[in-house]
Each structure stands twice: as structure tokens, then as C-alpha cells.
Structure 1
Amino acid sequence: MRRTAALVTAGFLALVAGCSGDGEPARAAAEPTVEAVPASVQVAPADGSTDVSPTVPLEISVTDGELTDVAVVDGAGAPVPGSVADAPADPATDVWTPDAPLAYGASYTLTATAEGSDEQPVQAATTFTTVTPQTLSTPSIGPLDGQTVGVGMPIRVWFDDAVADKAAVESHLRVTSSTPTDGVWNWFSDTEVHFRPSGYWPENTDVTLEADLYGVALGEGVWGEKDRAVSFRIGERHVSIADASTHRMQVFDGDQLVQDFPMSAGSPDNPSYNGPHVVTEMNPDRVMDSSTYGVPVDSPDGYRTPVQWAVRLSDSGEFVHAAPWSVGQQGRENVSHGCINMSTENARWFFDFSQPGDVVEVRNSSAGTLRSDIYDWTIPWEEWQAGSALK
């Protein structure tokens, strides 16, 4: 057994010697050397930038390394809380977002630190100043938050100052609804923009407008003062047809005809305007005053008359209201100054049925098409779309 073991040992040693080729034991191959590379960091906006929007993205790009720290301080050196995430359009770039919006007219410093394979920290910093607006603007919005309105009520946004950059503003007005629509914005003037679908809103729909205008340049030194959000509900579909040729008004609740009232529309000298009218105001008691649309009370066509159950249809003096003095003409001829006259009982029913945003379509009158504060539905859809600043 000892002899056999000796032979095996000798054979093993000979084999090792043969494999080495030179009588020396074989050596393991050396591993390749990896060069340590430092990181490179770039930040934006550029150092020394001025008139920067307080909502501009603060971007950090790192090459050959990993981002290890981001710090932002204000002009007094106080830390500004925030967080870092991938840029939506470029995952290779990080974006720092403040927990609360940066202020107008303030200085900030962003410092980013990264580390490459050399394990050495590398920093990049930028100091910038946000814009100081000449004027701050917060728009008014209708409908109001929490309101329920009819299917004809557009979203209306008014500005106190003219909007020079309409596309910038419109791109920050976002409308969402529980029932999707094809709605589009249309600029009525430099200070007013409306939103509506191609047809009346779907009933029983929840709608939200997010007007994210803080940090947005409206143009000519005017900037958005703050963000606003308004949520409202589209209620039941109430659309009525007031036909000046038949002297009747049909009232629909959804697709169901619920009333067919005799009425008197505007006389040949004062015809009612044609087209879809939107209910904007409701008064159980109101004084009808011709001077509100330019006709003096003491003129031959002037008047100052108290009425009941007045439902406003336009800002040109058109209402549905009780007119007991014209019951004999209702259903037979048009004798009003442009309003839809009804009996007191019928006007009371319609008043109780109505809500702001309901629609009354006036047809077959001798007057032209409605022009009012809300004449949105008289505008053909292609023309409405052309009124958007985002072509």
C-alpha cells in the first residue's frame, strides 16, 4: 500500500511538471485593471439666470456616476425642502421639485453632488433668480366650485388683464369629466375664454377645471398669481323649445316632454333672438326696466314693470316670466318686448323646474341670432374649434 501511494504521488508530480512546460508550477492569469472614472454633473437653469419662472424644472444630469445628494437654499441660505425624481420625458435626467412653489422675485442656489467609480464626490451648482412680475393675475371662473348646473353651461374664465400669450394660458387649463367629452376652449376676447363640448354636456356628469397658472407668463409682464381648481356637476338635462311661430314652449326633462305651454314671444317690433339661450339667473320677484338695455323708461317704448318668477335667458333683457296681462295673447300672438310671457301658474312651474345652465332654444323669430354674455351654442362647432389658441 505504501508502494502504490508512492507511485501515485510520483505520477502526480510528473503530470504537474509536464503541464507547466518549463518545470515551474502554473500561475493564474492576472485580472485586467479597471480605470477609476470621475463623475460629471450638469445642472439647469444656467448659473446666473434671471427672470426664471418659479415653476421651471430644476434639472440634474450625471454622467459616469450616480447622484448622491441635491440641496437647494434660498437667498438667505435657508434650506428649501423638495424631492428628486426622473424627468418624465428623459429618465436619464433627474428633476428636483420643491414641496411648496418657489417664490417670485427670489434667489435660489441648487447644488448637486455625484460620485463616480473613483469614489470621489463631484459637485455642480447654479444660482438663479426668479422673475419679478409687473402684474399678477388671478382669473374668475364659472361655474362656481360645488355648484350644479344645466347641460348648457360652458366653463368661463375671465382675466382682469389682457392675455397676450393665449396658448401658454390655454395649455395650463385642464378639464376632466366623469363622462369624457370632446370639449375645446374658445377665446371670446383677450380677457375671456370659454370651454364646451360639441353638443350639450352629458347629464349627471362631474367636471373639474384645474387652472394651473402660477408661474405662467400671460405676456406683457403679467404672470399667473396662483393655481385654482373648480369642481362642479352637470345636473339633469333640461332643454326647452320656444317656438315664436306656434306661440308655444315645449319643456323636456331628458328626452321626455313634460310640459307644452302657451306663450307669447317678442312682438314684431321687439322680437326675441333666435338660438339656444342659457339660464343664468332666477328671481321670484323682479322689476323689468327697459333702461337696463338702453331704452329710457320715460320713452314711448320704455317701461318699468314688476314681474314674478323671472328666469333670465340673456343679458339683453330676455326672460321667461309671469305676464298675467298678456294671457289672452299667449298661444296666439307675440306681444312682449322680447321675453317669453306665460301665465303666473305656468311661469311658477317653469321657475321651480329650472336651474342655471338649462337651455331654452328660441326658434322661428323674426330677429337675428342671439348675442349675449353666453351665446356659445350659436357658434358652429368648426368655428368654435378655430377659436382655440392651440391649433
Structure 2
Amino acid sequence: MTCFLILVPLAVGPAACGSDDKTQDAAPHDATAHVVLSIDEESRAADPDKPLEITARDDHRITDVRAVDAAGRRLTGELSADGTRWRSATPPAGATRYTVVVGTERGDGTPGRRTAEFTTRPAGGKKLTVDLGPENGTYGVGRPLTAELDQAIRSREQRAIVERALKVESTPAVEGSWRWMDDRTLHYRPRTYWPAHATITVRGALKGLWIRDGLRGAAVEPVRIRTGDRIEAVVDVAETRMTVRKNDKVLRTIPVTTGKPGFRTREGIKVVLGKQAAVRMTGTSIGIPEGSPESYDLPVEWATQLTDSGEFVHAAPWSAEYHGRENVSHGCTGMSTENARWFFETVRPGDIVRYVGGEGERMPVFGNGLGDWNLSWKEWREGSALHGTGA
């Protein structure tokens, strides 16, 4: 015999919105006998290679299903039109404990509920390894987050599974999105630069997660970074001048020289990648043949790197007469030794250097450093598998 309690509200005035349907106030009855899960009921174990299926019987229909694992990951699914069957969109994670709450309804509208727990068996197959970046530390407000995968993920559906499992939190909170840069690389940035002195944490809830047949997620090491002051340098190429600001206050204006015809400095927003107090620079490293009139081999001081291809901000005492007057370099931004040292000591990886007013090609978004900020927010989100095409 099944019992249930009818809750009768106390009358506190005229019943303007009264109803004769008492079932809407009924506490859910135990529907365990009327809801069947595709698990071994005795061992409470489930096959991680098959979707979870839930079936209602005996004049019951399913109204809602919530299946969540210990990490808070929800197993989504689809309910049949007649409400008798629910099936998860993907298999559950391997070696993972789940709690499932199934809401039901009888033919007379009486609500029911079944709560069940089960653990999936360990899953076989390959493991998707994800390395998050950058390393823990303090960076400038332009530093994107990165996720490097050891397996190619090409379909939008699989990309959405991976992307959804990569969780980013920041204090203060800001709007942000992942973007697929290629089949194995994602970058994450906010709509605008990170706030100064923010704390950002990225985690991967991928362990055991089904991505495709034969591929499951591996555990991911989390990353936590902070941002420093907002440092932004703007180089006006036509005016041969750099203006450096800290938290929107001008710190210094510096005469510079940038790339000459044939070696124009790229336009757009770049992010500081790293710094070297002393480095040897050669023409052959950027494709200039040895012995060419343009060939060079120089010891360079106070070099701040902006691109993988070799654009730096550095001391260039050999071109001092052109600083603030003419662009004569092979693509780097040259300045006096004193100014180069000051810039080197002022900026950190992740700070922003923006080039305007020149004739160089546009800084690419991916493949030559961190060009992430050269897309509008709409364009950026289009590369997300959750918000756009994911391509």
C-alpha cells in the first residue's frame, strides 16, 4: 500500500486563485518500484561505455531527470515524447559516482520521485591529456589562458564536451569565453582585458569523461594566476613614439624606431611573451641571407619579446639618430639603452603593446605569439563550440 500526504494550506483570505486539484500540493511519493535504471541494481554499478537509460512503468511517466556526479558534472539527456523513457546524450564518466533524481507523475497527476546512486566501472581506451597555461604566477592583464590537448578534437559536439569541462573563475567576475585556435589548442580571454589585480583560476573536470568512443578525459592540473597593474604601451609608428601607461596614467613617452619598408612592424595588439637582458640577434633568424646588405649579427640588451617570429622592444644605440624621427629597423622597436632598460623593468609577461598608424601587416590572432585581442568579442565567441561554430 502506498501512502502520501496531502498538504492543506490554511485559509488567510478569499480564495481568489483557488483550485480543486489537490494533487499539485501532494508530496512526491516513492516511485522506486516504477522507475528502472540501466544499472546493476544489486551492485549499483553501471557500464561507462553505454548511455544511461531510465524507464517509467505502471501508469507513471518521467517529468524530469537530474544526474550529477561527485564533481558536479551533469549528465544531460533526452526524454521521449510520451515520458516513458529518458536516455543520456553521452555515456557517463568512468570510475565515477553519480546521484540520480527522477521526477515522475501518475496518470492522475500525482507526483513521484526516485533517488538512486550508482558508480560506473573504470573505462578503457585512450586518455585525453590537457595542459593548462600559463604557469601559476602574476601576469599582465592581456594574458590569455591556454589549454593544450594531446589528441585532436575536430567535431563541434566533442569540442563542446571538452570546452564545457574547462572551468574558469575570476575575482572580480568577468565575462569570458574559450576559443578553439586549432584541433589541439584552446585560448580563453574576457570580453576586454582582465581587471588589474584579479585572481583567475582554471580547472579541468575531465577525469573519466566520455569524449568519443575510445577516448576519455584524464585528470587535469589546475592553474591559478593573478594580474598586476594594467600596463599598456601604444606605439604610434607614423610618429615614431611609444606612450606607456600604468592604470591609465602616462608613465613615459619614448622616441622609437620601428620597421622600415620591406620589414614593416606588424600592426595591432601584441602581448609581452618574455624578456632577456642580453640576446644575440641575427638576420638569418628572420630569413635574411648571410652576406646580404641587410644581414646583421648583433649583441642586444634589454630585449622584451612580442612575437614568436622575433619582434622585440630593445636597446638600439646604433640607430640613435633615428629614434623619434624615422623607421629604420628590421621589424623590432628600437630605443635608447636607458629607455629600453626602463621598459624591460616596467613590463611583465602578459602586458599589452599596441601598434597603430603603420603600414605593416596585421598581427595574426594565432601562430605568432598571443594575438588574441585582435578579434572583436563577437568574432572571438564564434570560435567557441558552446557559443559559436567552434571552428
User: TM-score, length-normalised on structure 1?
Assistant: 0.69
Q: Does 1:142 align with 2:133?
A: yes
Describe the shift of the 1:38–1:280 C-alpha distance in structure 2 as closer, same or farther (beyond 3 A). Answer: closer
Displacement after TM superposition at 1:304 (Å): 2.8
Deviations 1:158-211 (A, max 9, x none): 112112311000101111111111111111111111111111111110011111
Q: Which residue type is aligned with residue 339 of structure 1? A: C
The one of 186, 192, 196 equivalent to 2:189 is: 196
Does the Cα contact within 8 Å between 1:52 and 1:128 map onto a contact in 2? Answer: no
In the alignment, which residue of structure 1 is the partner of 2:379? 383
In 2, distance between residues paired with 1:294 and 1:218? 42
In the alignment, which residue of structure 2 is the partner of 1:52? 49
Q: Does 1:163 align with 2:153?
A: yes
Instruction: Give the length in aligned residue pairs.
Output: 304
Displacement after TM superposition at 1:292 (Å): 3.5
Comparing 361-370 with 43-52, greater Cα deviation is found at 43-52
In the alignment, which residue of structure 1 is the partner of 2:235? 242
**SS in structure 2 of the partner of residue 196 of structure 1:** strand
Structure 1 unaligned runs (5+)?
Answer: 1-36, 64-81, 90-100, 111-123
Comparing 296-305 with 204-213, greater Cα deviation is found at 296-305
The one of 289, 298, 307 equivalent to 1:314 is: 307
Displacement after TM superposition at 1:257 (Å): 0.3
Does the Cα contact within 8 Å between 1:137 and 1:160 map onto a contact in 2? Answer: yes
Does the Cα contact within 8 Å between 1:207 and 1:231 map onto a contact in 2? Answer: yes
Displacement after TM superposition at 1:384 (Å): 0.6
In 1, distance between residues paired with 2:117 and 2:357? 70
Does the Cα contact within 8 Å between 1:315 and 1:373 map onto a contact in 2? Answer: yes
In 2, distance between residues paired with 1:125 and 1:276? 51
Deviations 1:2-42 (A, max 9, x none): xxxxxxxxxxxxxxxxxxxxxxxxxxxxxxxxxxx997386
Describe the shift of the 1:42–1:293 C-alpha distance in structure 2 as closer, same or farther (beyond 3 A). Answer: farther
The one of 178, 183, 190 equivalent to 2:171 is: 178
If you compute each CA radius of gyration, which structure gives the higher value, 1 or 2?
Answer: 1
**SS in structure 2 of the partner of residue 328 of structure 1:** helix
In the alignment, which residue of structure 2 is the partner of 1:350? 343
Displacement after TM superposition at 1:215 (Å): 1.5
In the alignment, which residue of structure 2 is the partner of 1:273? 266
Does the Cα contact within 8 Å between 2:131 and 2:220 map onto a contact in 1? Answer: no
Displacement after TM superposition at 1:88 (Å): 11
**SS in structure 2 of the partner of residue 158 of structure 1:** strand
Displacement after TM superposition at 1:153 (Å): 0.5
The one of 352, 358, 361 equivalent to 1:359 is: 352
The one of 260, 263, 266 equivalent to 2:256 is: 263
Describe the shift of the 1:178–1:163 C-alpha distance in structure 2 as closer, same or farther (beyond 3 A). Answer: same
Q: Which residue type is aligned with residue 124 of structure 2? A: T
Structure 2 unaligned runs (5+)?
Answer: 1-29, 59-68, 77-92, 100-115
Does the Cα contact within 8 Å between 2:146 and 2:185 map onto a contact in 1? Answer: yes
The one of 330, 336, 352 equivalent to 1:337 is: 330
In 1, distance between residues paired with 2:332 and 2:379? 29
In the alignment, which residue of structure 1 is the partner of 2:124? 132
Does the Cα contact within 8 Å between 1:52 and 1:130 map onto a contact in 2? Answer: no
Displacement after TM superposition at 1:311 (Å): 0.3
Q: Does 1:152 align with 2:142?
A: yes
Deviations 1:244-294 (A, max 9, x none): 111010000111101000000111120100001100110001111334344
Show the 5 A alignment for 1:290-301: 290-301=283-294
Q: Which residue type is aligned with residue 196 of structure 1? A: R
RMSD between aligned residues: 3.5
Describe the shift of the 1:50–1:254 C-alpha distance in structure 2 as closer, same or farther (beyond 3 A). Answer: same
Does the Cα contact within 8 Å between 2:95 and 2:119 map onto a contact in 1? Answer: no
Q: Does 1:304 align with 2:300?
A: no
Displacement after TM superposition at 1:232 (Å): 0.6
Displacement after TM superposition at 1:59 (Å): 9.6
User: TM-score, length-normalised on structure 2?
Assistant: 0.69
In the alignment, which residue of structure 2 is the partner of 1:288? 281
